Amino acid sequence: MTAKCTDGILGSAFLPGTTDYWSSKTIGVPISQMWTVASHVLKNKLARRKKYPLVLMLEPLFRCNLACAGCGKIQYPAHILKQELTPEQCFNAVDECGAPIVSIPGGEPLMYSNIQEVVEGLVARKKYIYLCTNAILLKEKIDLFKPTKYLTFSVHMDGLEGEHDFAVCREGVYKDAIEAIELALSRGFRVTTNTTLFEGAEPHRVREFFDEMTALGVEGMMVSPGYSYSKAPDQESFLHRDRTHSLFRRILAAPKKAWRFNQSPLFLEFLMGNKGRDYHCTPWGNPTYNLFGWQKPCYLLQEGYAETFDELMETTDWDRYGHERNDKCRDCMVHSGYEATAVDHTFGSLGGFLGTVRAVLFGYRWSRVNEAEEGAPAGEGSGIVELPVIESSQVANCGSARTETKA
């Protein structure tokens, strides 16, 4: 059950062959990437432009080699799943949008027949690329790519082995991903992880997962609650807002010094329920371009398409969306809607900048709502449902059920 990745707005990174990184208690940000993002935000602020993109989500295909029960993006008919964007369509979308960061999800982007050409073209444009992959094909395809500060493999990892294999409905995927991450790191590539949490996540298991990814050597981790795609076969596992706050407070209340997160500290405080971070959704910060065009209003909702980026920005009724305005958005706290808000806050105001510095140096702040809950050790109490031990048969059954649904 993975979500699309919009990594790297404030990303953790090590640049092969250089010392171009900045690390702290909770995040590490490559200087060049941070400067690029900050300059982009400030340029738009000076132009008094309120709506502007930070990350383009470029979906060159919907086809995938997994069938996750929480995914709503691969439910298309076979003739749609066979289609792909051309490299020219990809480059036109990137040039038209102008975002400094390009996330390439799917489907599975390593199944895209022109992935090498597109990545090389984006590197030539000096775009920071996050290739969002389940890593099943990474060992086979890795020779298509060259290490560069502009390319990061963002690997979907939805927890430790049992949780991850259950989430993706196939045994052995976790081990394959670990091997692929180790290979990519040994070749000098930037590697991050992208984790989606659902109902039943155990805080102490998530913290153990963060420990394992840190020990593995990934440069940063991204974490977000899942969104309830209407087409997803499993509709019972998505978190409500209050449950999201509770879960993330338990996970992040005492972040370990070694952990690095590939996202805004203010967004993480938003997930924890900090009342000073009661952000509004800014979906234009992460526009999506796919086989059908520019998707309105975001990749999570399908309420029409525009032929051009300008048409998307000018014809979408943005005021209709957000958790306070639209029932479809009620429980959404996904990074694609809110992390751009947090980044705009960081670079667009003194208060946001100082809040980010404080979070980096001293840890996250959140609003206490239940003394008993906040005092409980991670993984105990607080109304978080304990995830049962996952047996191999359950993983197999998940895959079978998902396949039947798709058929």
Query: What local confidence, expressed as pLDDT, does residue 404 receive?
Result: 36
Cα–Cα distance for residue pair 395/255, rounded to 1 Å: 31
Q: Which amino acid is at 227?
A: Y
- CA 274 remoteness from chain centre: 21
Taken in order 372, 376, 381, 384, the sign of the CA dihedral is: positive
Query: Can you list the domains of the chain with their CATH numbers?
Result: 22-406 (3.20.20)
Distance CA 51, CA 171 (A): 43
What is the C-alpha separation between 361 and 97, in angstroms, rounded? 34
Angstrom distances, CA of residue 387 to CA of 171, 185, 352 = 17, 31, 36
Q: Which helix (H) or strand (E) holds 36?
A: helix 31-46
Nearest alpha carbon to residue 156 among 140, 143, 170: 170
pLDDT value at residue 398: 60
Whether 75 and 81 have beta carbons less than 8 Å apart is answered as no
Q: Across-strand partners of 196?
A: 224
Q: How far apart are alpha carbons 171 and 89 in whole angstroms?
A: 36
Per-residue model confidence as pLDDT tens for the chain (407 residues)? 444 565 555 543 333 343 333 334 455 567 889 899 989 999 999 999 999 999 999 999 999 998 887 776 677 888 999 999 999 999 999 999 999 999 999 899 999 999 999 999 999 999 999 999 999 999 999 999 999 999 999 999 999 999 999 988 899 999 999 999 999 999 999 999 999 998 888 999 999 999 999 999 999 999 999 775 555 544 556 688 888 999 999 999 888 989 999 889 999 999 999 878 889 999 999 999 999 999 999 988 889 999 999 999 999 999 999 888 888 888 889 888 899 999 999 988 899 999 988 888 888 876 655 444 444 444 443 333 333 444 544 554 564 443 333 33
- Which are the contacts of 246, defined by CB distance < 8 A and separation ≥ 6? 273, 373, 382, 383, 384
